[in-house]
Structure 1
Amino acid sequence: DEQGQADTVERKVEICSRAFRLLTTQVGFPPEDIIFDPNIFAVGTGIEEHADYGVAFIEATRRIKRELPGCKVSGGVSNISFAFRGNNPVREAIHSVFLYHAVRAGMDMGIVNAGQLAVYSDLDPVVRERVEDVVLNRRSDATERLLEVAHTAKGQAKAKEADLSWREAPVQARISHAMVHGINKFIEEDTAEAFGLLKSPLMVIEGPLMDGMNIVGDRFGRGEMFLPQVVKSARVMKKAVGWLLPYLEEEKARNPNAKAGKGTVLLATVKGDVHDIGKNIVGVVLQCNGYEVVDLGVMVPAQKILDEARACDADIVGLSGLITPSLDEMVHLAREMKRQDFSVPLLIGGATTSKLHTAVKISPHYGHGVVHVTDASRAVGVAGALLSETRKVNYLSEIQSEQEHIRVRRASRGDARLAPFETARNNGTPLEIAQVSSPAWTGTRSFEPSVAELRSWIDWTPFFRTWELHGRYPEILDDAVVGATARDLFASAQDMLDEVEREGWLRPRGVVSIWPAARDGESIVIQGDDGVVRVPMLRQQARKSRNQPNRSLVDFLRPVAEDGACTDHMGGFAVTAGHCVAERVAAFKADDDDYRAILLESLADRLAEAFAEWMHARFRRDLWGGHDEVGLSPDDLIAERYRGIRPAPGYPACPDHTAKSVLFQLLRAEQQTGMSLTESMAMAPAASVSGWYFAHPESRYFGIGKLGRDQVADYARRKGWSVAEAERWLAPNLGYVPKD
């Protein structure tokens, strides 16, 4: 603040408290979206004033979490060990000890090299004690005593086994090696040898196979292995279990009550939703950690989920969904679980889900545990806690207590501080309409580019994120932590794209149209082939400072003429790269090859997005015309350094998914591309993209944000809906709590 950086507990808490009050009371910012970094400073410098820096952060974190409910705490962990630079083993030990205590005080996240983070319990006891003396400032000579044993922390690099020397080890060790390194070449013969020794398929699974997968799970949890490697390990496990399957069936017939593994988890993408990459990844990671996974796939009705959960005696039910309407289906299923007397925990995951929605909308309807899971790496810990006889009660109590706090905060916060809708409407984007050029062509055209044409348009950064490898392409390929894994995954992706091209697995199809259009109030009027169509739009309603507009997509079009004629133009598109993906993925899964199944799904998603960029470029240059993009590289195009936008219904600038039905009708998308919409407005196939085209040179992407009751009522009127129906479709954007 004005007095400088905070280096004591009191100063850290004082500054964070001041910022918290400003953000929550004056700005109306949600507490759960606030992340504080109370400053981590170096310890062990030899300067007495620095000795308490570690304790100051830990204690400040404890108070911030207690006194400023809802916020998160982060910090740059490597700062704590800066005095020991040059001695990486000591630094890693300091990071491990510091995080051990800071996390228990409430620290939520930190910046640290996870691949070089020692495990607290694995530290040499003497080293750990002396590191804690430094971090916790327990004695005045702590730094000197740590330096005395610093050499103990230095580990010798393990020599890598060369070639096939690991094949000379006992069968249990060979199986573990194959699991950890994702080698499936010898797994069937090793499984057969283990079966010959143990005489029971369950003993093989629960013995050497699970021993190997436990190593994989532990390394994944510690950040020593990454998702692509884990999925390869799962492929090895499935191949081994596949060899054992006939013997498992025989043993099950003799003992029908036998149940292997840590428990059974049933997973499903809810009715109306077709997206399942994230769910598939969670399933693989759970299998790698000893859970039996029953995956029902996509578009699964609530009653089928519950019937199958009873049939397989599921210990946990997990629901996934990507689009906003899936949230309502999850609420419905929670109610049904209560009505039908279920008592197993319910996991919630997917891109549109959140801890807030789970606490406010889903958890109140089911009392046996509803837990939001953010990603695959957390699913294992959650499942373990829920199925532990000693931990389950306390874990659920903590979750339910946290959810109650979220509900109380949500209720006490009241409505968001928004501008009246009339004020927002009068503060639209001031654009020079004369800048808009007329298109060179109007009508509808279909396209079927080859995978080879689209390949160079792929944005690889989101591809790596799908596999939980975070970093920007191409820099991620040389990343010190995940670079080797990223390079291996990238090579696999290139090989599969070659195979897709060679074998003709995918057939991208798309359609684009340009129509006469105009703005009529807060709606867009489009002259389609079958007559005039009105498309209501939404407007930002946050209070804006001077010269900051409340944007709406209608601002990027000329007003309708006095006689109602359209005075401008806009476009629309729908593209897919997903035809035949489901069949090919099913074939991979039948061959116990989850790695290639997930790889193809993630590549199809990227090809669909690449198709959307390719199509938009054709639209700007050829169909609309007049867009000079000479000199723009593929990276420039991915970074959207061009004129015009392609906002998608269901996304920030136009969050109502139902607009897709109008778009599909105007495009005749089903006839032109084979794409369709589910009752929840998800596009099928899943690897599909659709949206509107706006050509105004000042058009830009934005998010609508929170909406007030007045705008929602106006939008409902323009859509011909009840207010309750509008609130259901716009639930994530509501700036108030609707009446039940």
Structure 2
Amino acid sequence: ILSNNGFKVINVGIKTELEEYLDVMRTKEIHAIGMSGLLVKSTQVMKDNLETMASMGITTPVLLGGAALTRSFVDDFCRPIYKGAIFYCRDAFDWVIAMSRIEKYNADPSVGLDTRLGGDMVERATKEVIDIVIPPFEEIKMPSEVRIPTPPFWGRRVLRKEQLDFDMVCEWVNKRSLFKMHWGYKRAGMPVDEYKKLLETKVYPAYERIKNEIVKRGLFDPTLIYGYYPVRSSDQELLIFDESYGWNIDENANRQPLDDVIGNAKYVFEFPRQRKAPHRALSDFFAHTRDDVLPLSCVSVGDKFSEYEKELYANNEYLEYNMVHGFGVELAEALAEVAHKQIRLDLNIASDDEGFSLRDVRLNRYAGARYSFGYPACPDLEPSRIIFDLLRPEEFGITLSETYQIHPEQSTTALVVHHKEATYYNI
């Protein structure tokens, strides 16, 4: 859309390291830098990039967009750390408006540079600014005690590919997210009947066509790794012990005082605590007076999707590229749901109305919760390295970059909290 409006775009690619941006800036006359975040994890990389650019004295205008981005993230975490202009662009047309303003400003700086776009005009609730004090750990009300399930094994396990039937995995695809967030088919004031007709005549046929294309080209090459590890919480820390340590978890075993076992921890996750009541940290959902169990997972649809997407992009088939890419992302999320279902079955914590089969789909209607690093309750990406150390997905071609981005792109890791009161929240 920018190119069609007369702007020259230098595309440095997907999941590009900041150094590649800087290499272009050194050799070309750049008027703006654009970064787009489809996944929440990539918005954290945006922030990291801006911090590095600020430390280098760079003030080139920056355009930020993508499905995972929000105005509050731009206002609270991006604009304060970067001295150059930042535009929050909700769609490609906002990018055109932003570039037009930058063009006018470059021709005549006296006109000023207004960075406010449609997303900035949405009123935000005002809150009284107060000093927030998080109480001592001993004064924070913990979640209720629950039965700690016993896993069928310790360490990791790889689900066989013949267990990951493509049609079965597609049943777990969140079509609402795919159609609205990735493909852009939002109702947006459209009459119900008209939107239903759009879904039936255009969207669902496109869904079936893309499915058939994935099968025809053999793009779906799934990997699903999951495992169980003994843990113990200590305030904001979750101590992770070697898999051989936890063979005796039951109601009466492994109740040694925390001080006696803390030195045996192999890894430690540290979670931030909420600044408002109930001042929750993810570690609170695990026992601290005895050992508990932490399920982990890593899934990927394989690297063939990325190869096909590059082919579509090179051929200027941008709409098809977007549809295939979105489908691949949601397939990775579907695989994560399948892994979570397997974990619930293993731990015997499936809800009463769940069937005892991977084909029985339950989206967001189950006890416990699944979290990925980069999301609000655990925003730091670096602990992803620990999941990689434990599950060893590199053996299946899944790698982690220096900025903790997973390759292939349509891959994700997660930690599962079995506690029935676990929920999603912001720090």
Which range, TM-score by smaller chain?
0.7 to 0.9
AA in 2 matched with 1:445: R
Residues 516 and 570 in structure 1, CA contact (< 8 A), matched pair in contact too: yes
Give 1:580 deviation, angstroms.
1.6
Give 1:540 deviation, angstroms.
1.9
| Corresponding residue number in structure 2 for 1:637 | 362
Give 1:288 deviation, angstroms.
3.7
| Corresponding residue number in structure 1 for 2:186 | 470
1:442 aligns with 2:154: yes
| Corresponding residue number in structure 2 for 1:533 | 267
Q: 1:306 to 1:371 in 2, by over 3 A?
A: same
1:667 aligns with 2:394: no
Structure 2 counterparts to residues 58-97 of structure 1, below 5 A: none
Residues 629 and 642 in structure 1, CA contact (< 8 A), matched pair in contact too: no
| Corresponding residue number in structure 2 for 1:102 | none
1:657 aligns with 2:381: yes
| Corresponding residue number in structure 2 for 1:735 | none
Structure 2 counterparts to residues 603-618 of structure 1, below 5 A: 603-618=327-342
Structure 1 SS opposite 2:412 = strand
Q: 1:513 to 1:377 in 2, by over 3 A?
A: same
Give 1:659 deviation, angstroms.
1.4
1:550 aligns with 2:264: no
More divergent stretch after superposition (640-649 vs 325-334): 325-334
Q: 1:457 to 1:591 in 2, by over 3 A?
A: same
Per-residue CA distance 1:210-251 (angstroms, 9 max, x = gap): xxxxxxxxxxxxxxxxxxxxxxxxxxxxxxxxxxxxxxxxxx
| Corresponding residue number in structure 1 for 2:142 | 429
- Paired with 1:376 and 1:334, the residues of 2 have a C-alpha distance of 25
Aligned residues: CA RMSD: 3.4
- Paired with 1:394 and 1:560, the residues of 2 have a C-alpha distance of 65
Larger Rg: 1
| Corresponding residue number in structure 2 for 1:357 | 77
AA in 1 matched with 2:282: L
Structure 2 SS opposite 1:540 = coil
Structure 2 counterparts to residues 683-722 of structure 1, below 5 A: 683-696=406-419, 698-705=420-427
Q: 1:629 to 1:290 in 2, by over 3 A?
A: farther
More divergent stretch after superposition (462-471 vs 676-685): 462-471
- Paired with 1:386 and 1:554, the residues of 2 have a C-alpha distance of 46
Give 1:560 deviation, angstroms.
4.4
1:348 aligns with 2:64: yes
| Corresponding residue number in structure 2 for 1:382 | 98
- Paired with 2:57 and 2:64, the residues of 1 have a C-alpha distance of 14
Residues 661 and 681 in structure 1, CA contact (< 8 A), matched pair in contact too: yes
AA in 2 matched with 1:694: V
- Paired with 1:589 and 1:486, the residues of 2 have a C-alpha distance of 28
Give 1:456 deviation, angstroms.
0.8
Residues 520 and 560 in structure 1, CA contact (< 8 A), matched pair in contact too: no
| Corresponding residue number in structure 2 for 1:293 | 9
More divergent stretch after superposition (568-577 vs 521-530): 521-530
AA in 2 matched with 1:689: T
Q: Give the structure with the larger helix fraction.
A: 1
Q: 1:613 to 1:396 in 2, by over 3 A?
A: farther
Match of 1:624 among 347, 351, 354: 347
| Corresponding residue number in structure 2 for 1:715 | none
Residues 540 and 550 in structure 1, CA contact (< 8 A), matched pair in contact too: yes
| Corresponding residue number in structure 1 for 2:253 | none
Give 1:419 deviation, angstroms.
2.9
| Corresponding residue number in structure 2 for 1:371 | 87
| Corresponding residue number in structure 1 for 2:288 | 559
Give 1:641 deviation, angstroms.
1.5
- Paired with 1:607 and 1:525, the residues of 2 have a C-alpha distance of 32
Normalising by structure 1, report the TM-score. Answer: 0.47
Residues 478 and 484 in structure 1, CA contact (< 8 A), matched pair in contact too: no
AA in 2 matched with 1:457: W
Relative contact order higher in (CA < 8 Å, ≥ 6 apart): 2
AA in 1 matched with 2:362: L
Structure 2 counterparts to residues 26-37 of structure 1, below 5 A: none
Residues 385 and 395 in structure 1, CA contact (< 8 A), matched pair in contact too: no
Give 1:381 deviation, angstroms.
1.6
Structure 2 SS opposite 1:293 = coil
Normalising by structure 2, report the TM-score. Answer: 0.78
- Paired with 2:196 and 2:181, the residues of 1 have a C-alpha distance of 12
Structure 2 unpaired stretches of 5+:
117-125, 245-264
Structure 1 unpaired stretches of 5+:
1-284, 401-409, 562-566, 706-740
Per-residue CA distance 1:423-445 (angstroms, 9 max, x = gap): x5521323123x33323333311
